[in-house]
Amino acid sequence: MYDLTKEHPVKHSYWAETDELNLQQAAMLTFGIDPFTPDFFLDYYTERLTLADLPRNFSLRIEALRSSINAGMLNHTQINHDEDNNIDASSTRIKTDDFVAWCDRKGLPHNIPGRTTQPQTTKWPWGDYETDLLRKLADAAKQWWSTYDPDDPTTAPKNNDVIKWLTENGVSERVAGNMATILRADGLPTGPRKQSSAPRQSQL
């Protein structure tokens, strides 16, 4: 599988100028993937690019957006539901300004050219000191736990998935296990959890 962030980086002025996004577009932008690349034929996207091509935790990012809408923390300009009564990610729309503010609150990159995010004075509570493992710990927190909603335990990632992601990024299995434990939300019940419904596997 090719790297979408390298093949299709966010680079088009369209996203800086558009007033609204659907949830799939918003989620793709947080991963640094351009939801639409005019340099390619539209047929390429409608036939080839599906949700299966996107990062493994893309569905969690969609669920975080849905949860924020349901909780009244993210306003919508249009809302539709799919056959499972989930907020439809392809047709529900939010204002771009609200999306940028949501990313700032979550500590996520919105990757929209020309839009500024809130400045971050230091990377850590103790200042700017960091190491390679601290950077990977921070990356894992952003990739896996930034989508967690304390009111919805099903949005919590599984430790095994976090460990696998860390080991794939050069962390030893022992250290990855410790990192996953450190990142795990306080008070989260142990054992199997009912999984949230994944976004409908429609074409983008």
Name the residue among 123, 161, 147 with its Cα closest to residue 196.
Answer: 147
Last residue in a domain, options 47, 75, 106: 106
Answer yes or no: do 88 and 151 share one domain: no
Angle, to 10 degrees, between the axis of helix 58-70 and the axis of helix 96-106?
110
Please count the structural domains in the chain: 2
pLDDT at residue 175, rounded to an integer: 95
Cβ–Cβ under 8 Å, residues 22 and 53: no
User: Residue 52's pLDDT band (boundaries 50, 70, 90)?
Assistant: low
- Report pTM: 0.55
Answer yes or no: do 8 and 94 share one domain: yes
Helices (H), the chain: 4-7, 14-17, 23-30, 42-48, 58-70, 96-106, 132-140, 159-168, 173-183
**Residue 200 confidence (pLDDT) above 50:** no
**Residue 94 confidence (pLDDT) above 90:** yes
Answer yes or no: do 90 and 137 share one domain: no
3-state SS class at 154: helix
pLDDT at residue 186, rounded to an integer: 84
Answer yes or no: do 10 and 102 share one domain: yes
pLDDT at residue 96, rounded to an integer: 93
Residue 113 covered by a domain:
no
Cβ–Cβ under 8 Å, residues 67 and 197: no
Share of the chain above pLDDT 70, in %: 75
> Which residue segment(s) compose the domain that 16 sits in?
4-106
**Residue 37 confidence (pLDDT) above 70:** no
Residue 115 covered by a domain:
no
Residue 203 covered by a domain:
no
Mean of the per-residue pLDDT values for the chain? 79
Tens-digit pLDDT profile for residues 118-176? 555 556 666 667 888 998 998 899 889 987 887 788 889 999 999 999 999 999 999 99
pLDDT at residue 51, rounded to an integer: 61
Name the residue among 88, 90, 22, 30 with its Cα closest to residue 55.
Answer: 30
Cβ–Cβ under 8 Å, residues 64 and 155: yes
Name the residue among 31, 33, 25 with its Cα closest to residue 94.
Answer: 25
Surface-to-core class of residue 114, CB atoms within 10 Å of its CB (0-12 exposed, 13-18 middle, 19+ buried): exposed
Share of the chain above pLDDT 90, in %: 36
Who wins on pLDDT, 123 or 14? 14
* Mean pLDDT score, 45-63: 70
- Phi/psi for 132 (5° steps) reads -60, -40
User: Hey, which residues does 124 pair with through a beta bridge?
Assistant: 127
Answer yes or no: do 76 and 24 share one domain: yes
Answer yes or no: do 8 and 78 share one domain: yes
**Residue 43 confidence (pLDDT) above 80:** no
Name the residue among 38, 8, 43, 10 with its Cα closest to residue 204.
Answer: 43
**Residue 42 confidence (pLDDT) above 60:** no
User: Hey, which residues does 20 pair with through a beta bridge?
Assistant: 95
Residue type, 114: G
Answer yes or no: do 82 and 145 share one domain: no
Q: How far apart are CA 30 and CA 111, in angstroms?
A: 6
Residue 19 covered by a domain:
yes
Who wins on pLDDT, 185 or 190? 185
